[in-house]
């Protein structure tokens, strides 16, 4: 099964580019930009990655992003991720970035987008990896800040396909961002949002009904509401599930407890993704392998994750046909 998984073409739909910052690059950028970090070595950084929930991860994750200053830093970050995609046979990827993590520190929106976009273009040309870019609003900040971010994104519509919603789900439900998502839809952006990762199933329902989301990031707590599960099957709403992330953030204690295969067998459009691979110990192949090790599956079932991701992606219908 290992060689089948390695060789399987993959499509990633849930990847925070800031979450692909490996400790080695963090160190190199800290030195290059003269930024102090509270660690002495990449191994010490890795040892600090012990999380007990989403918030304990986010605290260290936003700190890590402080080393990203120049356009070249965002380019280097994205290029390193694309090389990992190539190694994992990822043929298409849809990447999140968090503009406010950078603009709040005085880094211009344009610098961030230009660095990421330049690497994505090079990835398309030289690695044959297609991609889309999604800007996420931080849900622990207020809606006014999200509106300001949306307006900064308007001059980059040629590079940004959609908007998303991430950060602390507890206490920051989707309805807090109803108006800004309506505005984003009016501007022609597609919408997605994290929901049902740590938060209740109502967040998934409201993400669909109030934010117009075409897919739900995580969504694994849908199982607590049978009517919602039926709806997700009926409407074939994609869930971008991140198995190693869920394990690291203690959403599930053991991969054997993870519900992704149960959801697949119920007929939901579930996909496998890496979320923040530098923090959670694995890229796409590692995530597929971890699920397959804990839940014996047929090759057809494993391949279904890729077929689901193709259908759930923002690539055009013609290209979807070609990939299927």
**Residues in binding site for Zn(2+):** 14, 16, 194, 275
Cα dihedral value 299, 303, 304, 309, nearest 10: 160
Binding site for ligand ADE (CB under 6 A): 16, 19, 54, 166-167, 194, 197, 245, 275-276
Binding positions are 14, 16, 194, 275-276
Least separation in angstroms between CB 196 and ligand ADE:
11
Q: What is the largest CA-CA distance in the chain?
A: 53
Instruction: Please choose which of Zn ion, ligand ADE, none residue 92 contacts, taking the beta carbon within 5 to 8 angstroms, the exact cut-off set by kind.
Output: none
Residue whose CB is less far from ligand ADE, 274 or 313: 274
Binding site for Zn ion (CB under 5 A): 275
CA angle at 137 for the pair 133 and 138, rounded to the nearest 5°: 130
Residue whose CB is less far from ligand ADE, 173 or 323: 173
Least separation in angstroms between CB 138 and ligand ADE:
8
Least separation in angstroms between CB 19 and ligand ADE:
5
Instruction: Please choose which of ligand ADE, Zn ion, none residue 12 contacts, taking the beta carbon within 5 to 8 angstroms, the exact cut-off set by kind.
Output: none
Phi, psi (deg, nearest 5) at residue 165: -140, 125
CB atoms closer than 10 angstroms to residue 69: 18
**Given phi > 0 = left and psi -120 to 50 = alpha, else beta, which region is 277?**
alpha
CA angle at 91 for the pair 132 and 84, rounded to the nearest 5°: 90
Two tokens at 230? Answer: 């039926």
Residue whose CB is less far from ligand ADE, 33 or 56: 56
Residue whose CB is less far from ligand ADE, 64 or 123: 64
**Cα–Cα distance measured from residue 297 to residue 56, given in angstroms and rounded to the nearest whole number:** 33
Least separation in angstroms between CB 101 and ligand ADE:
9
């Amino acid at each position: 099964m290992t060689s089948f998984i390695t060789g399987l073409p993959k499509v990633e739909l849930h990847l925070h580019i800031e979450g692909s910052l490996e400790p080695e690059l963090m160190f190199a950028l800290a030195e290059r930009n003269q930024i102090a970090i509270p660690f002495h070595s990449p191994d010490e950084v890795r040892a600090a990655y012990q999380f007990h929930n989403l918030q304990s991860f986010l605290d260290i994750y936003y700190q890590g992003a402080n080393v990203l200053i120049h356009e070249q830093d965002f380019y280097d970050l994205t290029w390193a991720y694309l090389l990992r995609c190539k190694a994992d046979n990822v043929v298409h990827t849809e990447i999140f970035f968090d503009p406010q993590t950078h603009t709040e520190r005085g880094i211009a929106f344009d610098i961030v987008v230009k660095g990421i976009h330049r690497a994505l273009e090079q990835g398309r040309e030289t690695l044959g990896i297609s991609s889309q870019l999604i800007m996420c609003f931080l849900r622990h900040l207020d809606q006014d800040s999200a509106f300001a971010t949306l307006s900064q994104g308007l001059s980059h519509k040629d590079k940004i396909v959609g908007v998303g919603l991430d950060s602390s789900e507890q206490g920051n439900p989707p309805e807090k961002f109803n108006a800004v998502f309506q505005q984003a839809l009016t501007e022609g952006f597609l919408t997605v949002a994290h929901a049902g990762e740590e938060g209740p199933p109502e967040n998934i329902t409201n993400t669909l009904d109030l934010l117009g989301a075409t897919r739900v990031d995580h969504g694994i707590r849908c199982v607590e509401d049978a009517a919602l599960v039926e709806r997700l099957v009926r409407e074939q709403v994609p869930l971008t599930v991140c198995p190693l992330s869920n394990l690291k953030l203690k959403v599930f204690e053991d991969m054997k407890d993870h519900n992704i295969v149960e959801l697949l067998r119920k007929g939901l459009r579930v996909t496998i993704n890496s979320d923040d691979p530098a923090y959670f110990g694995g890229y796409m192949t590692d995530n597929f392998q971890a699920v397959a090790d804990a839940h014996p599956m047929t090759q057809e079932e494993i391949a279904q994750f890729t077929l689901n991701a193709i259908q759930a992606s923002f690539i055009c219908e013609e290209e979807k046909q070609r990939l299927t």
